[in-house]
Amino acid sequence: MGLKEQITEDMKNAMRAKDSGRLATIRLILADIKRKEVDEQIEVSDEQVVAIVEKMIKQRKDSITQFEAGNRPDLADIEKAELAVLVTYMPAGLSDEEIAAEVAAAVAASGAAGPQDMGKVMGIVKPKLAGRADMTVVSALVKKALTPA
């Protein structure tokens, strides 16, 4: 069963369980998937679904930060609940050591010599780690690896 089908099944289960919070979040995911399918006239793959969910997670994290800074814990709690549902659709994350190993392999494969080659390295690393690692952490590791000591 693909990820899209799993999300649809989870929506049905949330409807049966009358879990309105989870149901609303799942409907948001399905709406974004449908929007992408209609806009690009394609059938989304699991990788594209992961990218959509990853984008939604990033949006929720930004919103939580903003709501907490604006002293709106009620809205931050709603975003945190949505974030908890979204995270369940992400593949298992990699450990810091695994991420560092992938970065080191990408630096070696690209022949990167310094910070100016960061784009080359990120181009190799991003498809491998998308959805399995926080790209801001990956970017920081690449920058660290390319900066002379």
| CATH ID of 3-88, from 2.60.40.10, 1.10.1510.10, 3.40.50.970, 1.10.287.1080 | 1.10.1510.10
- Is the pTM value of this prediction over 0.85? no
Give the CATH class of 96-146.
Answer: mainly alpha
- Residue spans per domain, the chain: 3-88, 96-146
pLDDT in tens, 8-53: 999 999 999 999 999 999 999 999 999 999 999 999 988 889 889 9
Q: Please, are residues 99 and 141 in contact by the beta-carbon 8 Å criterion?
A: yes
**SS in 3 state form for 41-78?**
CCCCCHHHHHHHHHHHHHHHHHHHHHHHHCCCHHHHHH
Q: How far apart, in whole angstroms, are the C-alpha atoms of residue 26 and residue 44?
A: 16
